[in-house]
Structure 1
Amino acid sequence: MHEPVKDSLVETLVDDRYFVRSLIARGGMSSVYLATDRRLDRDVALKVLFPHLASDRGFLRRFESEAKSAARLSHPHVVGVLDQGITDSLAYLVMEYVPGRTLRGLLDERGPLSPRLALALMDAVVEGLAAAHDAGLVHRDVKPENVLLADNGRIKIADFGLARAVSTSTNTGTLVGTVAYLAPELVTAGGADERSDVYSAGIMLYEMLTGRQPFTGDSPIQVAFAHVHSSVPAPSDLCPGLAEDLDELVRWCTAKDPEERPVNGRALLGELRHIRTSLSDAELDFRCTPDPASGPSGAGTPTEALAGATEVLTAGGAAGAATSVIDTSSLGAGGTRANHTEVIHRNDNATTVFPAGSRGAGDDGADQDGYDVEGPDDDYDTDGEADLSPNARRRRAQRDERDRQRLNDREAHRPQLSLRSGKPRRRGILLAVLLTVLLAAVAFAGWFFGAGPGALVSVPDVSNASVEEAGTQLGDAGLNYTTDEVFDEVVAAGLAVGTDPGAAREIRRFQPVKLLVSKGPQLFSVPNVVQRTLEAARADLQEGELALGAVTEEYSESIEAGSIISQQPLPDTLLRLGAPVDVTVSKGPAPVEVPVVTGLGEDAALKAVEDAGLTAAVAPDKVNSATVPAGAVVAQTPASGLLERGSTVTLTISLGPRMVEVPNYVGQRVETARADLESRGFTVEVENLLGGLLGLVRDQEPGAGTAPEGSTVILKVV
């Protein structure tokens, strides 16, 4: 057994921020890693592009632009783009990490899904697409590999903008997408819009219901050819018993003409939810067990056989189909690459190039380099009757019979008048009767719409009138009405707020009118937000349909800083919609003034600091002081000011003055003795005896020995 080659990026730091922990998956355009964002301390999915893309400056510009567009999209069913970067050696995209598996993994494990599960999964996917379409983004590569199923039940669609970045960075004859889900217009014209995503979603729904893809071939080109020239078969052709509404939904999404599809994800989402509510439980829980020998021509192989070539290297990783760039000249007869994102080159005339031999036997349309060229007007039909199974032919015959029956029903309800030739007198009587009936109908219509129940009347303005007065005005106008009570901030309870339709609207007398009667303003109970944080209080008030009012701050010895001390109005007070509630927020305990304890004894100083609500600490080293006696405080830190309660004040204790040697100066000049004593830190006093004419020291106090630093030495001079 060979040891696996370790990826060079694993256990490295990308852009001084993202620590790569392991390889999740590798595709045709990029590798996906599990990484840790060192700055925010969270797991992310790091998509690193292959060197041939990272070296393309045009692609990098598009890549950066599309990443910014995708990052602006925030939706519960879309994988968030968190960051992107380009260094000297690589280009990368940072996305939300979704632990779990892909929809492809679920299909591989379970095969066809019940309509209930398939529609529930599609609901999340289409809702994500709808949000993207609303923001002006087109995915271009919708497929099961890009649908992530998180371990906590969340469903997210990934890889917005990457396919567009690749396609716009290559030449104009290039299209991007996974051929199994590729919209026909991407092959023939190259332009993608929201309806292209809808087509891919329809193909994905077909696969979820049947366990197979509608089209396969020996090469990606043949699959793309089938999308252009063939209609997607009904899922019930492969799975008899599926609800007809599901067939219609798949047909609508996968119409070859984009104009015949839902205009975007939002339009599809509405129809999808309508169908989910209209199907019976039996139809929703139906499970397809297709006969491998049945199904329309060109139907795909079972989903398990089309799982793409992406190798998932870590458990729980999001495996996607590999994304690769394919030149049609490299595709031979055996070049099947199912579920990869393909980049297929077209010529400038929007014709589709197919490998030689991909059309039927006996076709001599191959050109000199071995490729056949099919233009958009060529006739190609893979839905021939001869290729259908007996089951499919029976269901097609049933649908044709239903279509003929609907046509017959419409013809049966079309009125016909036949005036056969007969006696002139009989025809005259008949015409007279018809004319009389016609005149009567005209007269009745004139009365009905002129003065009768169908006459137009203007709805009277009944605002601020009593219910009785409003009823009288509506009755005088010939209108029938019902009453409905509503809250109103202006009109007093019991009075009319107005009508629906509103005042001055012209309606027919037979149309109903609703008289809206005020219940007064709607009142809401004030919640108790004391001891809540400011943000929590704001959320509580908004939930209670009230608003946060003025915010003041006060010191509090009992309520921690940032929490609310009091509120006004008090809890359970009833207020109108949106009324403000003022709050006072704690700034924590009030600061304490630092006492000055310099010069006090150690015990007295400690007590003074602690009595002030502060913590006293004695410095480990004592110091000498010429002015402060031993055992007293010689210094404190801080010396003064304000501190939070409980803060520490450090005290330094004095050792008293330092003892300094005093020399014997008797017989020396007084100037010399004075200078030497002052240099040693003593204070010098001179007493002149007999006028001090000689300037010599006769005596000194203290005598030779030691004395405290800073003490006074007396020199007696003669």
Structure 2
Amino acid sequence: MKIEKDTLLQERYRIEGLIGEGGMSYVYKAKDIKLGRIVALKVLKDEFAGDAEFVNKFQNEAKAAAKLNHLNIVSTFDTVDEGDLHFIVMELVEGITLKNFIQRKGKIAEREAIGIALQLIDGIDLAHKMGIVHRDIKPQNIIVSTEGVVKIADFGIARAASQETVNTAVMGSVHYISPEQARLGVSDARSDIYSFSCTLYEMLTGKVPYAGENSMAVVFSHLEDPIPRVRDSVKEISKALDYIVWRGMQKKASLRYQSIADMGEDLRLALEDPDGSFLSEREDDGGKGVFGRNGLDQGISNLYKGLAIASVILIVGVFLFLGYKVVGLLRSVQSISSDETKLTEKTTEDSTQVAITISALDSLLPGIIGKTIPEAEDILKNYDIRLYEDKAEFSDEYEEGQIISYPGGQYNSHSRIYVTLSKGSKDLEFYDPKNPEDLSSLQKMSIAELERKLQDRNIQYSIKEEASDTVPAGYVIRTNKAGTKDAGALEITVSTGAASNLVAVPDLVGMTEDEAVLAIQSEGLVVGTITYVSGTSVDADYVLSQSILSGTMVEQGQAVSLTVIRGQSSKPSTSTEKAWVSSINQSVSIGSGGPGVQGTVLVVVYLIQEIDGESRYTTIQSARSYALGSEMQLSINRIVGATGLSKGTIEVVDAENDRVLASFDLEFHPEG
């Protein structure tokens, strides 16, 4: 039975709500009223509370997790076993699962993925050194916190490494399960390395390494199917990282990394040497060449040699058998002779076919020049040859993405070829100078894509923004010249999106304060800070300057600040009430990116005051983006509150996640 909200457990833990549900437990958010902190409670389900085996597993989980104290492992604070109530008190981590993180991003860039992986390896390495095997490493059991720290959760099926030979039921999730877990139900630290490598594969490609119509089909793939290569799905992944993931997913545990720390060391080397020269220098496994591109090709070659030897032995055996028949059964000479002729003809026919294949391959390779990698692989599909980008160069002859060259030499079936691709011409053409009205192709290009090309070519440029009802936000509207060959500085106009959300800032200079405030509000804008200066040579008050120039297109809700000059004969206020004001000058930390974690936070600032028993929210600063890990300087000289109220609170809020980043209490007082 689920626990209701506000239930108090052990006179200490007050339930605030259900967070999630696992196979044998519920997870609740609760408040530890003794220590005043928010925690997570993992409570064993009622149907298992009376089962001694499940209770024993649950207790083992608590004992295993309690031994682990690491930044990258969800902490365990307390355990309770009382009657039919069994629960674990754990650290509550605010964030999302790595699975959701991957789904949001589609796939994770190489350096960011390595940064996340190294955090996880630190935690897993500690657990392995303490004799604990997780046995269910997967993206769903990994949390990316709002501070950018990555933590491993749910040691629900962890086992002491000393019990690795116990033949228990297969419990790991099928998309990440090691072959030995699937086949025998046994595991050790190398099983975690396999599951971790499957997780890293998904981070880099956005998909699980093996998929199937049902769980059994997936398990069979782990046991029998070839190991997928990351670079087969994501060409830009480095050779070193492709190798590291592939080695971690070896079917035989003895061929994987023998410790997670060794895998972490290779990941660190891959950051410095993405081409993986350190792998060839090491001569893995005693120089037998088991791993790496050359080792793989050599292994395939050895396989063919073995098959050829076996075929020769078989043929010799057949001839010996036929000779025996000739001596013993002279009546069958004609029949045997006929059979021998057929066998010889078939052998000759097969040999000719192999020779044709090898010969045809040599003549086909030149045909890949000028093709894209997918086009070239289609040409070579009968030979199971894979092509990978080695480097890219500018070329006036070949379009971007086409193959310029590849290393010379003899290639066989199953080879891997590293090619040089064209980056296109070093000079860019934005539109046809003979038809300058047609900007359709240019307007399909995002400013991010264009900037990448310009920066790659070291071309200087400037950007200005403009609203557009036809060109999506972030895409190019026009350029001031047809191409980079033309003389003069390059200016790019970028769309800010439809004008329906944008307004022009009115010209406020010369207006009275009341007129300016009314003009700002009528455009859907917000009055920002108003600064007053004394004037000795003017009779009336008026706006001296404004923080945003008139005519500038801004989003509705943007704050506009004013400087108002007070004349000697200013009209008296129409109201005897003075404005109640306050100010603030504080720094606010916008989270922490952490290694390999990047992004922005959309921040909005509110003033909250209690009026007639209700909380009134006033927007002080409209939503703005800040880099994760940066500091926001919150400095406002004049904040106008409700008349007569001396108290108020400023809240700095993560608008996308509705999460308060910081709050400050303010004192308000009559102005003047």
Q: Same fold (TM over 0.5)?
A: no
Larger radius of gyration between Structure 1 and Structure 2:
1
Point out the structure with the larger strand share.
2
TM-score, normalisation: structure 1: 0.38
